[in-house]
Structure formats: structure tokens, C-alpha cells
Amino acid sequence: MIFKNLHLNIDVEDQHFNTLYPSHINKLSERHWTSVEVAKLAADFLVDKPNCKVLDIGSGAGKFCLIGAASTKGNFYGVEQREGLVKLSQRIAKTHNVNNVEFIHSNITDISFSNYDSFYFYNPFYENIDDSLLIDDKVVIEEKLYFTYSDYVENQLKNTAIGTRLVTYWSMWIEIPEGFDLEFTAYDGKLNFWEKKF
């Protein structure tokens, strides 16, 4: 019913969507996973044509991709370094027949952005510098990694085509290269919508 409602553009409450997850993953939702409302706004902007390929950079428990795939005509790809979260996301997609979504177990530095049309970035590297609410103990807390990953994303985005769309959420913008214009903003400046102009 959750995914059918998303497909029909019927509102789904976060509390209801989060019941798809085990309790320990559900508890992390407010801090680490995109809300349904934000995911729908971002996905609607990123999917500017049918079959648009959207990459979620650090997909976590897969919430953004699952919502985007259910509510748009895009194809969603989530890259995540935690194998357990990838398997969980894959299981939810399979159980609920969400077919236009794929989850990839990999580090972002092994992903070429040339395979995708649009990008979603919910500050996935911040956990490398902030240990106040960790997802688990599987990530190294190291400032150098934060900048290494951010630089990689910036360099990959530099090589994308004019017209490429990007949504950032709770970002410090260091990963956004010259050429991306801010189209509009929401949630008091926390959610930002970009398009590559040159």
C-alpha cells in the first residue's frame, strides 16, 4: 500500500514508511534518511525525462531511491558502502516490486558519474567528521576522507553534461563545481536544486 500510494501521488507519512525498516534502522531515520516529502520534491526535480538515471550518492537504507522510483518515471541507483544496508534496500525493493531501482555495494570513488543523468547528495560524508550519531561502527572517522570523497564528487560532476541536475540536502556545497547554477531552494536553505549551465 505504501508504494501504491506513492505511485498514485497520495501522501505517505514518514512514520508509516519507516515501518518497512527494522527498529534499529527506523531509529536512525530522522537524522540519516531523507523524509518522504523531501524525497518526492527532489525526485520530481531530478527526473526531467522518462527513464532518467538518478544516482543517490550514499544511499544508506535506500529510502530516497525507493520513494523516487515509486513516485516518478525515473530509474534510481543508490551507491552505499555498507553491505548490510544495500541488502536491506534490495530486499525491500524486491518484496514490494519496485523494479526501477538498483542498489550498488561500493565506495563512491569506484563509481563513474558518466553513467547517470542526475544526482542526489544528502551530505553522506559528514559522518567521517562527526561522531555524534553514528549509523554503526563500520566507517572510519577521519577528516581526510571527508575531503577526499567530496573532491571526488566535485571532479566527477565537473565532467557531466550541460543540463545535468543535482539536488543537495544539508550540504556545505564544497562538492559543487563551477557551472552549476542554483535554481531554487527550500527548507530554509537546506534543500537546494541545481542545474549545470556550462
Rounded CA separation 121/46 (Å):
12
Q: How does strand 118-121 pair with strand 165-169? A: parallel
Close Cβ partners of 20 (under 8 Å, ≥ 6 residues apart): 2, 92, 96
Alpha helices in the chain (DSSP H): 2-7, 14-17, 23-26, 29-32, 36-46, 63-71, 83-95, 143-158
- CB of 166 closer than 8 Å to CB of 186: no
- CB of 138 closer than 8 Å to CB of 77: no
User: Of the candidates 143, 132, 152, which has an alpha carbon nearest to the alpha carbon of residue 58?
Assistant: 152
- CB of 3 closer than 8 Å to CB of 98: yes
Tell me the pLDDT of the chain (198 aa) as tens digits: 999 999 999 999 999 999 999 998 888 777 779 999 999 999 999 999 999 999 999 999 999 999 999 999 999 999 999 999 999 999 999 999 999 999 999 999 999 999 999 999 999 888 877 777 667 777 767 889 999 999 999 999 999 999 999 999 999 999 999 999 999 999 999 999 999 999
- CB of 67 closer than 8 Å to CB of 6: yes
Residue 133: predicted pLDDT: 67
Which cell numbers hold the place of 168? Answer: 543537495
User: Measured at the alpha carbon of residue 58, what is the angle toward residues 188 and 37, in degrees to the nearest 5?
Assistant: 40
Count of CB atoms situated within 10 Å of the CB of 168: 24
What one-character DSSP code corresponds to residue 113?
G
Rounded CA separation 154/181 (Å):
14
In the chain the domains, ranked by start, together with CATH numbers, are 2-196 (3.40.50.150)
User: Of the candidates 1, 164, 165, 166, which has an alpha carbon nearest to the alpha carbon of residue 70?
Assistant: 1
Rounded CA separation 1/120 (Å):
26
